[in-house]
Amino acid sequence: MDTLYLIIPCYNEEEVLPETSRQLKAKMLLLMEKRKISADSRIVFVNDGSKDKTWELIEALHKEDPIFQGVKLSRNKGHQNALLAGLMTVKKYCDMTISLDADLQDDINAIDEMIEKYYEGCDIVYGVRSTRDTDTVFKRKTAEGYYKVMRFLGADIVYNHADYRLMSRRALDGLESFEEVNLFLRGIVPMIGYKSDKVYYARKERFAGESKYPLKKMLAFAWEGLTSLSVKPIRMIMTIGSLIFLVSIIMLIYSVVRYATGATTVGWTSTVVSIWAIGGLQLLAIGIIGEYIGKVYLETKRRPKFIVEKYLCGEAREKHDKCDKDSFKNKQECTTEMD
Ligand code: UDP
Ligand code: MG
């Protein structure tokens, strides 16, 4: 039996945490009973710099039952970084992880099937939404369109898969070796390789609280994903640029011919229109190229993707981790049993 850790990023989720923790705990106990996962499996909430009582709730849960653990980030770093922080913190203690949202929009009954596939030898199992009935038409259409655009641009992402997935320890080691700062997990995970599979589930409604992804954040996230995974937009600019250059040569020949035959027109409109068109296009092109240069700038800085302030994982292990750090000093204490 292998050890499973559930990773749940939480940003201002005090409204959903009590119910989420109850349901997840029941699920874990059932899985333990069925001997699918070992008894030292855990549920880890990552507090992404919440402004409400989320962390206090996590602390209370941990006190009440050690099956709950908490990772506290030093500040809000966004869903992707919070997820990565959780995965990297627990990596060394488990055989597999499953990441899911705090609002239980991802059907937790898909977990059984994911674990099944893990035992069949998969290192990555993607949770894929079979329906998006609960999303608004707008969100559904834009999201589906986005997946298509991404694929067209050459990014290898799994259609209708968000961040509900199982990853083995080996896959997490692979993920760790991707050092990019511009993080878009669902684009990077398929690059890890290994045997993978999909599990389908119906996406539910958020049962309390509101989405932490307003349209503005969603657009920023989409743009981030696109530009960190594909260089096609830059190539497209080149294509458009050359096409326009070609058109201008044709125009030149055309006007020379017209001049030679003595049929010159005033041509004010076409001049003004083309100035604006070319000017706009140039600004757009510079903007897109600037975006990539900005990315390079951030990557060269190698800023940390997250900083963990605290890991609530039981005293024995805290001691063990501390020993890990200064193992020269107190070798004796390091033999503590882990919980
Ligand atoms: N989240 C986070 N940091 C943020 C924003 C969101 O950790 O800055 C978490 C949030 O708590 C939730 C998950 O990311 O567990 C998905 O967010 P949400 O359900 O609001 O997004 P939606 O389902 O509306 O796309
Ligand atoms: Mg949600």
Nearest atom in ligand 1 to 8's CA: 15
Q: Does residue 290 sit in the same domain as residue 318? A: no
Q: Whole-prediction pTM value?
A: 0.74
Q: Does residue 191 sit in the same domain as residue 312? A: yes
What's CA 14's distance to the chain center, in Å?
22
Return the ligand number nearest the Cα of 52: 1
Q: Does residue 16 sit in the same domain as residue 97? A: yes
Q: Does residue 206 sit in the same domain as residue 240? A: no
**78 close to ligand 1 (CB < 6 Angstrom):** yes
Q: Does residue 261 sit in the same domain as residue 129? A: no
Q: Does residue 57 sit in the same domain as residue 92? A: yes
- For 242-263, give the DSSP string: HHHHHHHHHHHHHHHHHHHTT-
Strands (E), the chain: 4-10, 42-47, 68-73, 96-99, 124-131, 161-168, 196-202, 308-312
Q: Mutation test of ligand 1: which of 213, 305, 306 has the most ligand atoms closer than 8 Å to its C-beta?
A: 213
The rounded Å distance from CA 52 to ligand 1 centre is 14
Nearest atom in ligand 1 to 46's CA: 7
Q: Does residue 44 sit in the same domain as residue 148? A: yes
Q: Does residue 262 sit in the same domain as residue 188? A: no
> Which domain, by its residues, includes 136?
4-229+304-337
Nearest CA among 7, 16, 83, 10 for reference residue 43: 7
Return the ligand number nearest the Cα of 49: 1
Return the ligand number nearest the Cα of 46: 1
Q: Does residue 167 sit in the same domain as residue 291? A: no
Q: Does residue 134 sit in the same domain as residue 206? A: yes
**107 close to ligand 1 (CB < 6 Angstrom):** no
Residue 262 has pLDDT above 80, yes or no: no
Confidence of residue 327 (pLDDT cuts 50, 70, 90): very low
User: For the chain, how many structural domains are there in total?
Assistant: 2
For ligand 1, atom 23, which residue shows the shortest CA distance?
Answer: 211
What CATH number should be reported for the domain holding residue 9? 3.90.550.10
Q: Does residue 128 sit in the same domain as residue 205? A: yes
- The radius of gyration computed from the CA coordinates of the chain, to the nearest angstrom, equals 26
Q: Does residue 169 sit in the same domain as residue 249? A: no
The rounded Å distance from CA 192 to ligand 2 centre is 26
pLDDT digits (tens, 9 = 90+) for 135-193: 778 878 888 888 888 888 877 888 888 899 999 999 999 999 888 877 788 888 988 98
